[in-house]
A and B are shown apart, each in its own frame.
Chain A
Amino acid sequence: MSDKPPSEVTVTINGVEVEARPGEMLIAAADRAGVHIPRFCYHERMSSVGMCRMCLVDIDTGRGPMLQPSCMAPVSEGMVVDTESEDTKRAQEGILEFLLVNHPLDCPVCDKGGECPLQDQTMAYGPGESRFVEEKRHFEKPIPISDLVHLDRERCILCDRCTRFADEIAGDPLIQFTERGNSMQVLTFPDEPFNSYFSGNTVQICPVGALTAAPYRFKARPWDLEQVESTCTTCSVGCRVAVESSRNELVRYLGVDVESVNHGWLCDKGRFDYEAINSDERLISPLVRDNQDRHQLLGTDWGSALARAAEAIQQAGPQRVGIIGGSRLTNEDAYAWAKLARVVIGTDNVDAQLGDGLPAEVVLSLPPATIADACDADTVLIVGPDLKEELPILHLRLRVAATKGQTKVIEIGPIATGAEPYAQRSIRCRSGEAAKTLTALLEGDDPLGNQLRDGSVVVVLGRASMAESATPALDVASVIRDRLPHATFLPALRRGNVRGALDMGLAPGILPGRTTIDHPSESLTSRWQTFPKKAGLDTTAMLQAVVAGQLDTLILLGADPLHDFPDRTLAAEAFQHAQTVIAIDNFVTESVGQADVVMPSTAYGEQGGTTTNIEGRISRLTQKITPPSSTRDDWMIAAELAWRLGGDIGLSSREEIWREIEQVAPSHAGVTIDRICAPETHEGILVQGSSIELSLPTPQEPPVVDGYGLRLVSGRKLWDAGTGVSHSPSLQHLAEESMLRVHPSDLHRLGVSSGAAVRVISTRTTETLLAVADDTILRGTAVLPFNQPGSRANRFIDATALVNDIRIETL
């Protein structure tokens, strides 16, 4: 007897021999062999439950053919299967007749009608007519089970997909089967809605119209929809998505199953924030500041806006211009702007990150890892933001891998995060002290130390709090480089195409293709010819330079420093001192409202091109709708500005831009348009090479909090006051007002009762906030979420400080 499990088993399906993987279910093997077995409950990304019986087929394992559910039957050597036998057909007819016993057949008024597996399979495999004449069961027609999802229990066929998803994948078992037999139904607990960041996925996988999404209900019929495949750019995970429109309006996104990234899932923000793109509040024509009344922005034409912008840039001179933002841009747009800045304007003051990320040269030189690497690593070490809030599908992938035992997650950080329930260990440390904590862990005799040293490690690295500088994260990187040299990294960076923007050179000292300004590639030098030879300023330094009178003109590329930069005081001062602020955006954000020249750009779904996710995976964006009014692509604005500045970036289409990128960016050589557009690379093309050497500063000891102080921790939330959420009518009310949360003993020590207003003092400001007690918060720490409606976290933060401390006093 051989004790090695066979690597393959052979089964015969409808007379054809098929190779199957040991342990897999017959239905999966049949799928790969191109034999379709009808199903309702089976889903390839979840465990099999055998709820619906639609997948019954004749299986003969030597004892004669027998009807068995193919989603519950593991393949075995010599299995003979008939998916079209008379018995199978009779079973399929019978199951469908049963499923329709209680189904209301309200297809004409059902969102799912036209793309409904129940409709389709009834047509294909059903009996043609029903013998059921009795009364069907009745329930109140759709009941909201959350703000975003409605449930019609009459339509439900009890397949357990939504409930399984909520439990197994999302880890939010807030919907359940209740009762049994004829009264069985999906429900939430009274007054505890299905508030999951991933709830929209249940609507997508429900095989009937029982679950519908509030933003999409009755918006379109499936046969009116046009669909293209694209990539979500709401965050930097880069989930593959099907973008659907009806009459030139985006109406729905669906997750596309790609093995490397999202497994078909989307987070609710990525899924529903298309509402913002359709919003009437979109910026659709250029604006300029009124010379008479400085408080007013007046509508103008493109010619005047561009002329005014060009004039301001020229007057300032190359060294006195800075460009902030660009991580909302496509790769092509980012490249056009990087080139405009260097070649035409002559400045290296460009930074796609808003003082809330990691230095570009570090991001581009850390040993890279993929999401799949993380899910298969012995250990994933998270030192950074709450992934559930900021990179939701990365959180989901790690959660599923960890709960299946594929990997173990250790997190080190100042607050409880979404990773805590599935982490092997959640280590709390004061903000700024992660490196110290990690060192102690590796030096002590904690078994986790051995686990990290002896096994493969993927580090998810980012900034846990907007109130700490990049230094603590870099210190962690140094500890890892010295002690765990085998570890690889996934950067947890904020905003959609931030990785692509850095790759394209939208960072000081960085040129397209992951090279530095000191070592430009030959192909780039020959194409660009003149460009600055000295590294410019990053966002913080640019804002400081404006305040110091060393920089006159600021260009904002889809950036809102007044809300998104950690330090509002510095940003606001810079706005006051700047001679001219030029903003290119989709909305009039607070920062845009203070600009002198405003130009409207096209938004997601209105542009083609490519985007790059945190792994360095380049994937395609597809244009679905025509942009509104006179909005323009960002690269076009760059090209026009170049021309008005008396220069030329030599780019006249996205394709041309990509061809140039492919030639001048060493890391992107060989990634041709043909390869990007090939159907087999729809998962994207992973580009990991970089010519930048990793260099990290020597770790610094963070200052001690004085006896009266509390260390401020400010993380971001999924539902925030950003443009995507606040301009989406279905989402805007989901963002919660934020309060200062402090450990009860700290409140007690200060003589403050929970819920009371307190005076909060930092080096930047003194303001009154509500403070609540929360015993999950580390002592000596105060938590105030960033960019929530009414949140003033950014007023307390000094962006130049390593960490920020506050004091609270009774009024």
Chain B
Amino acid sequence: MKFFSEENLELADVIISRYPKPRSAMIPLLHLAQEQVGWVTDDAMAEIAELVGTTSAEVLGTCSFYEMFKRHQVGTYVINICATMSCALMGAEELMEHAERRLGVKAGGTTADGMFTIEGAECQAACTEAPCLQVNYRHRYRVTPDEFDSIIDELSSTDHNVPDHGVLSQIRQHIPEDRFVGAVPPGDVASAPVWMHDEGVD
């Protein structure tokens, strides 16, 4: 079954053309798939395999290595509550319990309306701001149970700027023609790309 939308299929071709070997485009294409529906479906993996010329098993191997590629449906907002040392000392466990009560799901679960998924997470490199969490990988610091409730209220309204889970800007980047080095294998690069010369770099 085909997975990618027509528009994304076109983008997929552009992404593949950026690499000397199609297989190198596997991770950006997984991002693209996750962006399209919020998670990576089996159909998506099978289609990526076809696009980059490998087996679905290989795409599964790569995809499943990365925690941030979800292989089951998740909510529009994925909330990762840090449970590592600093946060644990500062009340992460209570925060998680509160979150579970407020949303009515256990850690790892998704609310029935498909809005929220809560997950326990490892250190998010914001230990000085413990306890912290991320909403679709955007930090929120020193979160108290009350603040958690207001985050949920905020996300439930339309008045916020957190994009849906899976939306990622990098793969949408536009590389201007004159800055695109071309899909040259590293060994074949003979000189520095033109734009480097432009900026006076040797």
Q: Which residues of A line the B interface, CB within 8 A?
A: 167, 172-180, 187-190, 192
Q: Which residues of A contact B58 (CB under 8 A)?
A: 167, 173, 176
Among all A-B residue pairs, the 5 with the closest Cβ atoms = A176-B61, A189-B56, A178-B64, A189-B57, A176-B57
Q: How large is the interface on B (under 10, 10 to 19, 20 to 34, 35 or more residues)?
A: 10 to 19
Given contacts A189-B46, A190-B42, contact A174 B57 (CB under 8 A): yes
Q: Is the CB of A175 within 8 A of B57?
A: yes
Of chain A, the residue at the smallest CB distance from B62 is A176
Q: Which residues of B contact A173 (CB under 8 A)?
A: 54-55, 57-58
The interface centre, meaning the residue of B46, B57, B58, B59 with most chain A CB atoms within 10 A of its CB, is B57
- CB of B60 closer than 8 Å to a CB of A: yes
Distance in Å: Cβ of B58 to nearest Cβ of chain A:
5
Q: Which residues of B contact A175 (CB under 8 A)?
A: 57
Distance in Å: Cβ of B178 to nearest Cβ of chain A:
33
Q: Is the CB of A180 within 8 A of B57?
A: no
Q: Is the CB of B65 within 8 A of A180?
A: yes
Q: Is the CB of B65 within 8 A of A189?
A: no
Distance in Å: Cβ of B116 to nearest Cβ of chain A:
24
Q: Is the CB of B55 within 8 A of A178?
A: no
Cross-chain pairs A/B with CB under 8 angstroms, 15 sampled: A173-B54, A173-B55, A174-B55, A176-B61, A178-B60, A178-B65, A179-B65, A180-B64, A180-B65, A187-B60, A189-B42, A189-B46, A189-B57, A189-B60, A190-B42
Distance in Å: Cβ of B61 to nearest Cβ of chain A:
3
In the assembled complex, the Cα of A173 lies from the Cα of B59 at a distance in Å of 10
Q: Which residues of A contact B46 (CB under 8 A)?
A: 189
- CB of B83 closer than 8 Å to a CB of A: no
Q: Is the CB of A192 within 8 A of B61?
A: no
Distance in Å: Cβ of B130 to nearest Cβ of chain A:
24
Of chain B, the residue at the smallest CB distance from A188 is B57
Q: Which residues of B contact A180 (CB under 8 A)?
A: 64-65
Given contacts A189-B45, A189-B46, A190-B42, contact A178 B61 (CB under 8 A): yes
In the assembled complex, the Cα of A115 lies from the Cα of B59 at a distance in Å of 34
Given A178-B65, A192-B57, 7 more A-B residue pairs with CB atoms under 8 Å apart are A167-B58, A173-B54, A173-B58, A176-B61, A180-B65, A189-B56, A189-B57
Distance in Å: Cβ of A249 to nearest Cβ of chain B:
35
Q: Which residues of A contact B59 (CB under 8 A)?
A: 189
The residue from B42, B45, B61 contacting A177, defined by CB atoms under 8 A apart? B61
Q: Which residues of B contact A174 (CB under 8 A)?
A: 55, 57
Give per-residue flags for B31-59: 1 if the beta carbon is below 8 A from chain A beta carbons, else 0: 00000000000100110000000111111
How many A-B pairs with Cβ below 8 Å? 38
Given contacts A189-B45, A189-B46, A190-B42, contact A179 B56 (CB under 8 A): no
In the assembled complex, the Cα of A175 lies from the Cα of B56 at a distance in Å of 10
Q: Which residues of A contact B60 (CB under 8 A)?
A: 176, 178, 187, 189
Give per-residue flags for B11-37: 1 if the beta carbon is below 8 A from chain A beta carbons, else 0: 000000000000000000000000000
Q: Which residues of A contact B56 (CB under 8 A)?
A: 189, 192
Secondary structure class of chain B's binding surface, majority of residues: helix
In the assembled complex, the Cα of A180 lies from the Cα of B60 at a distance in Å of 12
Distance in Å: Cβ of B149 to nearest Cβ of chain A:
33
Of chain B, the residue at the smallest CB distance from A180 is B65
Q: Which residues of A contact B45 (CB under 8 A)?
A: 189
Give per-residue flags for B45-89: 1 if the beta carbon is below 8 A from chain A beta carbons, else 0: 110000000111111110011000000000000000000000000
Give per-residue flags for B158-185: 1 if the beta carbon is below 8 A from chain A beta carbons, else 0: 0000000000000000000000000000
Of chain A, the residue at the smallest CB distance from B53 is A421
Q: Which residues of B contact A172 (CB under 8 A)?
A: 55
Distance in Å: Cβ of B120 to nearest Cβ of chain A:
15
In the assembled complex, the Cα of A189 lies from the Cα of B42 at a distance in Å of 9
In the assembled complex, the Cα of A188 lies from the Cα of B56 at a distance in Å of 9
In the assembled complex, the Cα of A177 lies from the Cα of B54 at a distance in Å of 15
In the assembled complex, the Cα of A192 lies from the Cα of B55 at a distance in Å of 9
In the assembled complex, the Cα of A180 lies from the Cα of B64 at a distance in Å of 8
Q: Which residues of A contact B64 (CB under 8 A)?
A: 178-180
In the assembled complex, the Cα of A190 lies from the Cα of B59 at a distance in Å of 12
In the assembled complex, the Cα of A444 lies from the Cα of B64 at a distance in Å of 49
Of chain B, the residue at the smallest CB distance from A166 is B57
Distance in Å: Cβ of B129 to nearest Cβ of chain A:
26
Distance in Å: Cβ of A706 to nearest Cβ of chain B:
37
The interface centre, meaning the residue of B42, B45, B55, B59 with most chain A CB atoms within 10 A of its CB, is B55
Give per-residue flags for B79-110: 1 if the beta carbon is below 8 A from chain A beta carbons, else 0: 00000000000000000000000000000000
In the assembled complex, the Cα of A177 lies from the Cα of B45 at a distance in Å of 15
In the assembled complex, the Cα of A523 lies from the Cα of B56 at a distance in Å of 62
In the assembled complex, the Cα of A791 lies from the Cα of B42 at a distance in Å of 35
Of chain A, the residue at the smallest CB distance from B60 is A189
Of chain A, the residue at the smallest CB distance from B66 is A180
Distance in Å: Cβ of B174 to nearest Cβ of chain A:
33
Distance in Å: Cβ of B40 to nearest Cβ of chain A:
12
In the assembled complex, the Cα of A280 lies from the Cα of B120 at a distance in Å of 59
In the assembled complex, the Cα of A174 lies from the Cα of B58 at a distance in Å of 7
Distance in Å: Cβ of A166 to nearest Cβ of chain B:
9
Q: Which residues of B contact A192 (CB under 8 A)?
A: 55-57
Distance in Å: Cβ of B199 to nearest Cβ of chain A:
38
In the assembled complex, the Cα of A179 lies from the Cα of B60 at a distance in Å of 9
In the assembled complex, the Cα of A472 lies from the Cα of B60 at a distance in Å of 45
Q: Which residues of B contact A177 (CB under 8 A)?
A: 61, 65
In the assembled complex, the Cα of A187 lies from the Cα of B55 at a distance in Å of 13
In the assembled complex, the Cα of A191 lies from the Cα of B70 at a distance in Å of 19
Of chain A, the residue at the smallest CB distance from B61 is A176
In the assembled complex, the Cα of A189 lies from the Cα of B56 at a distance in Å of 6
Q: Which residues of A contact B55 (CB under 8 A)?
A: 172-174, 189, 192
Of chain B, the residue at the smallest CB distance from A178 is B64
Distance in Å: Cβ of A626 to nearest Cβ of chain B:
44
In the assembled complex, the Cα of A57 lies from the Cα of B64 at a distance in Å of 33
Distance in Å: Cβ of B71 to nearest Cβ of chain A:
9
Of chain B, the residue at the smallest CB distance from A193 is B57
Interface of chain B residues 127 through 144 with chain A (CB within 8 A): none
In the assembled complex, the Cα of A192 lies from the Cα of B46 at a distance in Å of 10
